[in-house]
Structure 1
């Protein structure tokens, strides 16, 4: 503040200034004493930092732009709002005093897609660690309830041949195929005592998740929780014939799933010929299939590749699956299932999606984290007859 005066009142102002200064020093002394009496030093008393943007504002800013929404939440705006409505109306997602349901969903997708830690979410969304963790769990539970409804075949009778089978160059030889099965490894952090059993053949600790998919790249069944050292065949046998035999989408008579050479060639599960080239990548920059068995394997692999591409989209979109945070094993399993449910929800929207579009027709894609090689399991004569019949039909066109 600036003061102006004339020469006639200089002395009066000096006197007033002296009195004012004395009063100000006295007031400052009283304030300092009060702060010391409360155990607070003047250097410790800092104004509370006000965030430049609240978590809700952050979410709304991403939703205002289609590209930002996709990059941050791994889905377009229409899918985001549809998912939010579905979770709120049917699967128990609610708002809380600290965080509304829109913000909670946005935070969950942001954490799973990047991935981002709880501490990073605390910084961006301006909530306590406890609030971030609790609301993440709220959305996780809601999405797992969704998974129970949307991770299943659209046609549970498998009465209709899938259009992708009819469009494939091997039609009509695989007309009874209803999907593909494989395992994939999800890197996890486990206590030292559990590391040996979770160590997979790739040299890191993982869960071996077995999944079934259809030819729309939708997951129709998943089983998680198995340690990385578990063989694909062991997981498959326990799932199909034991623990989940009543909920697994069993193939009807004469129908079958495509499996790779880690699985047996048994009724309902058609495997390739062992000891022959199989993966599409093995035929690249090389000769065409040699002999009828390689011809069968080539056609089989190009169809079964849909499970590889489905895993590829899943991990491309939800990068939390590339290295899971150090949550409990139960929570890690729920996150895997939740990501598959989100994968299906996006696919079921029938809207264009960059990640799906990238791998939808790439028959050369191979999931680098596929399941564990198994010991030999005997084939069954009936499925050998099916395989040989397809070979003979292909031979007529070769």
Structure 2
């Protein structure tokens, strides 16, 4: 562009009378001006500088004409994004769930809330519904910018700008979504109150805490910092959840680790990797703990195993929360090369959307499955390297028997 600007200055010289047409998006210059300029360059002294300038001028004119005047439209499909969305909203409920990970009623509520309370505005060419659906389409399916351009018939700059605009509105939403619904812990959670297994042991428990990993896309010089037991670069997330599988607090990549201290007498359940301290209840060490251990080895024996059995059953709500959360959004498994701050913000937005769907949806397929199967824990998408090696070794031993 710099070289072309120099050529244009050489062609224009000190002459005035040129302008810009904002409607056509072209330079305004009379035909006499162009004819005079080109004729003078061609018939001037026959030297290399004149001919070089003439060649540059013709090249500029041709490039400008093809780029700004005789442009062949790229997004010219009659089946625009808005037309396609109208078809989705009038069609079968499952189409909306498959594409945007929520039913039509929740999608409309989300759009209205973002517009009324979180400063998301429509534009001349795009409605609130289309903006939000583009954002959810990227998150749910892991779609690239070019795929979104083709599906919604918008330019890449429009798609990118819209994505970041909705992301900011979603971050405002997350402030209201990721928080305690009962900050004073005045009531016993119904999941404990209505279950005799937990009421005698855990009536003062207020939630569960654990860590998990989601995909990260980082530059090569920072790769070592983000590769751990998973063999791939990941973001390390520590979160707390309530027993109805809603996130109440989070910390990403060891930042913001100051969890709210539970009130006196209240506590979170944690696994054996955490220290036994006030406000955090860990299981007995050196004793059977995980649910599969009891499924394979029979009923618990002794008070410690009984305690660990119900502790594990209660704490698995955080693992179930992580499982349904990761399964819903494909981008958590293959994070695109956004800036790291955007990747971190996307994780926060996912937690907010998770809570939003849990609170607003009358029926959600993902949550419905977990509600019907209280012992089902979705598999982790990022398994530890040690676990994979043990499994591969056992498979090899079975193969050679």
- Which category of TM-score, normalised to the shorter sequence, fits these structures? 0.7 to 0.9
Residue 363 of structure 1 corresponds to 375
Residue 117 of structure 1 corresponds to 144
* Per-residue deviation, 1:370: 7.9
* Per-residue deviation, 1:281: 1.9
Listed one character per residue, the Cα deviations across residues 335-381 of structure 1 (whole Å, up to 9, x for unaligned) are 000011001111111411001111234324155268999xxxxxxxx
Map residues 1-398 of structure 1 onto 2, 5 A cutoff: 39=62, 48=73, 50-65=76-91, 66-168=93-195, 169-226=197-254, 239-240=257-258, 248-360=259-371, 361-365=373-377, 367-368=379-380
Indicate the SS of the match to 1:171: helix
TM (norm. structure 2) is 0.75
262-271 vs 358-367, greater mean Cα deviation: 358-367
Select the structure with the greater relative contact order (CA < 8 A; seq sep ≥ 6).
1
* Per-residue deviation, 1:265: 1.3
What is the rounded CA distance, in whole Å, between the counterparts of 1:108 and 1:343 in structure 2?
Answer: 15
Conserved in 2, the CA contact under 8 Å of 1:311 and 1:367?
Answer: no
* Per-residue deviation, 1:225: 3.5
What is the rounded CA distance, in whole Å, between the counterparts of 1:117 and 1:167 in structure 2?
Answer: 46
What is the rounded CA distance, in whole Å, between the counterparts of 2:286 and 2:85 in structure 1?
Answer: 53
* Per-residue deviation, 1:207: 0.6
Coordinate RMSD, CA, aligned: 2.5
What is the rounded CA distance, in whole Å, between the counterparts of 1:117 and 1:301 in structure 2?
Answer: 40
What is the rounded CA distance, in whole Å, between the counterparts of 1:123 and 1:370 in structure 2?
Answer: 31
* Per-residue deviation, 1:191: 0.7
Conserved in 2, the CA contact under 8 Å of 1:281 and 1:364?
Answer: no
Indicate the SS of the match to 2:186: coil
* Per-residue deviation, 1:132: 0.6
What is the rounded CA distance, in whole Å, between the counterparts of 1:342 and 1:222 in structure 2?
Answer: 14
TM (norm. structure 1) is 0.75
281-290 vs 114-123, greater mean Cα deviation: 281-290
Change (3 A) 1:161 1:134: same
Change (3 A) 1:105 1:350: closer
**Aligned residues, how many?**
319
What is the rounded CA distance, in whole Å, between the counterparts of 1:353 and 1:46 in structure 2?
Answer: 46
192-201 vs 59-68, greater mean Cα deviation: 59-68
Structure 2 unaligned residues grouped into runs of 5+:
1-60, 386-401
Change (3 A) 1:93 1:150: same
What is the rounded CA distance, in whole Å, between the counterparts of 1:220 and 1:372 in structure 2?
Answer: 26
